[in-house]
Each structure stands twice: as structure tokens, then as C-alpha cells.
């Protein structure tokens, strides 16, 4: 499979990634088939999400307002 073609495929792959995530850990050998499958599915999902759920860079104003809110700063500060 070269790419995810539908939301149904995307959801199925996300479910499989969840399963594999809990079946593997940092002690899992790099050549373990589960880890290889997890890596492949993660790459496919990353590409799908990049196209269908893009994350835009926030504007400077949005960033500043967010930071002010986090630190309880007033505009004067």
C-alpha cells in the first residue's frame, strides 16, 4: 500500500497503530516485525494527516495573545 485513500483506511490504521504501540517498547528489537509495521503505518498516517489535517503556523498576534494569557499578563506588561 503506497498511501491511505479513505478515512476508513485511516481509522483502521490508527487502530492498528494503537495495538502495536502497546505491544512494543524501547526493548523491542529494531528488526521485530511489529516495530517495522508500526514504523510503516506511522509514515503512511503522517502523510495522510499532512494532507487532510494540516496544522498552520499561528500568526505572531495569536502567539503573543496566547503567551499573555498563559502568564496572566496585561497588554501593558
Nearest to 1 by CA among 51, 62, 35, 43: 43
Domain ranges within the chain, ordered by starting residue: 7-71
Residue 1 has pLDDT above 90, yes or no: no
The single residue listed with the C-alpha cell 502567539 is: 63
Query: Chain-wide mean pLDDT for the chain?
Result: 93
pLDDT, residue 8, reads 96
Query: What confidence tens digit (pLDDT) does each residue in 25-54 have?
Result: 999 999 999 999 999 999 999 999 999 999
Q: Are 38 and 24 in contact (CB under 8 A)?
A: yes
Residue 76 has pLDDT above 90, yes or no: no
Total-model pTM? 0.70
Crossing angle of helices 7-23 and 33-52, rounded to 10°: 140
Mean pLDDT of 10-20: 97
CA distance 52 to 35: 25
Amino acid at each position: 500500500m503506497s498511501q491511505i485513500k479513505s478515512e476508513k483506511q485511516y481509522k483502521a490504521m490508527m487502530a492498528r497503530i494503537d495495538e502495536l504501540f502497546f505491544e512494543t517498547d524501547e526493548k523491542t528489537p529494531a528488526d521485530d516485525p511489529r516495530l517495522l509495521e508500526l514504523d510503516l503505518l506511522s509514515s503512511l498516517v503522517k502523510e495522510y494527516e499532512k494532507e487532510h489535517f494540516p496544522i498552520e503556523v499561528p500568526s505572531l498576534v495569536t502567539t503573543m495573545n496566547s503567551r499573555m494569557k498563559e502568564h496572566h499578563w496585561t497588554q501593558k506588561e
